[in-house]
Structure 1
Amino acid sequence: MDGRRESTLRCTNCAATICLASQVISKGFTGRHGRAYLVADPKAPHPALSVLANTVAHRAVPRQLVTGSHTVSDIACRFCHTILGWKYLAAEEESQKYKVGKFIVESKRVSISRDGPVDFSRAAATAAAVDNGSGKKEEIEFDSQDEDECEDLFAGVWTPSLAAKRRQRRKHKS
């Protein structure tokens, strides 16, 4: 990236970056939970090789959708395992084949972030002040002893706000 601010779609559960908002082809699709985005991987040399950052694909399954019979693979957040939508692997009807290699991302499962600039290759492991929920700012630094934070850092998604959210969740669970 060239340092410009770019909007991104992030997992609503853990704030992992999923894709750039500019990858959204259409906002007029319907998923299992209501409105959904049709998203493309513009860098994929072939539809079978298309991927979204920080997602994992489940096994391929046939699914009867409103637009016909398709083979799809559910996609989940790599970090919190929330099902975000699915990837189209095949379409029986010729008029639907344009979807192959593209993704349905449920609008209720992602949020649009305007934090930019975006760098999918690495995260900036710097300290930052984050609201700790009580209205006070708390200094958040990368914790090299935390396995989840290390995974986030190497995946290029670590941010002070993501670390703060995860730490808050752990506090409430204990």
Structure 2
Amino acid sequence: MEIHGDQSALYRCRNCQVPIAFRDELLSKNYMAKTGQAFLFSNVRNIVIGQKEERTLITGVYTIAGLFCSNCGEELGWKYLQASEARQKFKEGKFILERSKIAKGY
């Protein structure tokens, strides 16, 4: 994958360093996941989307699918496929990456 622009504005898989998301795709740092802090992104790359499942999270019930690094297989977070509550619909189609699983680019 060819990377343009500021390399420090890139998030990578902490395990293998493959590029996952750009800084300008970061929407919020105010999320929580299994391992603690998580970030909401509008787009990600170099990932494999897992099976969809229904999960009860802090803000309601969602249909989500796990996100895995396409290079090393590390579980990185999830994609929101569907929100059950109207006020959470803005999350649909967006991606959660666990802070402990990603690193800023070098």
When Rg is computed on C-alpha atoms for both structures, the one with the higher figure is 1
Q: Number of aligned pairs?
A: 104
Gaps of at least 5 residues in structure 2 are none
Q: RMSD across aligned C-alpha pairs, in angstroms?
A: 1.5
Aligned partner of 1:98 in structure 2 is 90
**Could you say what secondary structure the match of 1:22 adopts?**
helix
Q: TM-score, normalised by structure 1?
A: 0.57
1:78–1:3 CA distance, 2 compared to 1 (3 A):
closer
Does 1:25 find its partner at 2:27? yes
Q: TM-score, normalised by structure 2?
A: 0.93
Counterpart Cα distance in 1 of 2:55 and 2:4: 40
**Could you say what secondary structure the match of 2:80 adopts?**
strand
Does 1:53 find its partner at 2:45? yes
More strand by share: 2
Runs of 4+ off more than 6 Å: none
- Which amino acid in structure 2 is aligned with residue 62 of structure 1? E
Counterpart Cα distance in 2 of 1:97 and 1:32: 22
What is the Cα deviation at residue 4 of structure 1? 2.8
**Could you say what secondary structure the match of 1:13 adopts?**
coil
Counterpart Cα distance in 2 of 1:68 and 1:56: 25
Does 1:79 find its partner at 2:71? yes
Aligned partner of 1:140 in structure 2 is none
What is the Cα deviation at residue 21 of structure 1? 1.4
Counterpart Cα distance in 2 of 1:31 and 1:2: 28
Gaps of at least 5 residues in structure 1 are 42-51, 116-174
Identity %: 34
